Amino acid sequence: MDRYQAVIEAPFPQSPCLLGIRIDDKYLTGIDYIFPDFEPLVPRTRLAKNVVGQLGDYFTNGGNCFDLPVRLQGTPFQCRVWQALVAIPSGERFTYGMIAKQLTSSPRAVGNACRSNPLPVIVPCHRVVSASGLGGYAGDTSGRNIAIKRWLLAHEAV
């Protein structure tokens, strides 16, 4: 529990879970989906309180633009993909191939970067789908993570 500066309940009815908020110094560094054996934790820092507030706004309204100081740690390619994801407007879907073309890469490489996204919801990898369907989410193509992706897309009225 010490690794999180806040733990909040997520509103995913088909896949109940908590969101663990990780902060390093003055930056949001991670959001983890937590499924077993955790309790909510009130924000420990001002930034954690801000993150929780903006997530709450998003879960209420769906179209919220996040304005948070983030530190994304990944390869240069992963960071390029994550920047491309942030540019996808709420309520829209891009395919892995569309992002790949934009970055002169391959859909599989884009999917791998999406799978490694440390800030789900904030960096909206859920808005990226395959050319033939929903695609994956957090490395899964079925189960609770796909239920979360479906909820997020429906919440944004996609």
- Domain 76-155 bears CATH identifier 1.10.10.10: yes
The domain ranges of the chain are 6-61, 76-155
Please report the sign of the dihedral spanned by the C-alpha atoms of residue 71, residue 74, residue 76, residue 79.
negative
Given this model, what pLDDT does residue 49 score?
Answer: 97
Given this model, what pLDDT does residue 1 score?
Answer: 57
Please report the sign of the dihedral spanned by the C-alpha atoms of residue 153, residue 88, residue 73, residue 114.
positive
Distance CA 144, CA 84 (A): 25
Taking CA 13 as the corner, what is the angle to CA 30 and CA 48, rounded to the nearest 5 degrees? 30
Strands 128-129 and 6-9, sheet pairing: unpaired
Neighbours of 93 (CB within 10 A): 15
Catalytic residue of the set 17, 65, 79, 125: 125
Q: Which residues have a Cβ under 8 Å from the Cβ of 102 and sit 6 or more positions away?
A: 84
Taking CA 78 as the corner, what is the angle to CA 106 and CA 33, rounded to the nearest 5 degrees? 110
Query: What pLDDT digit, counting tens, does each position of 56-88 carry?
Result: 999 998 776 899 999 999 999 999 999 999 999
Query: What pLDDT digit, counting tens, does each position of 117-150 carry?
Result: 999 999 999 999 999 999 999 889 899 999 999 9
Q: Indicate if 114 belongs to the active site.
A: no
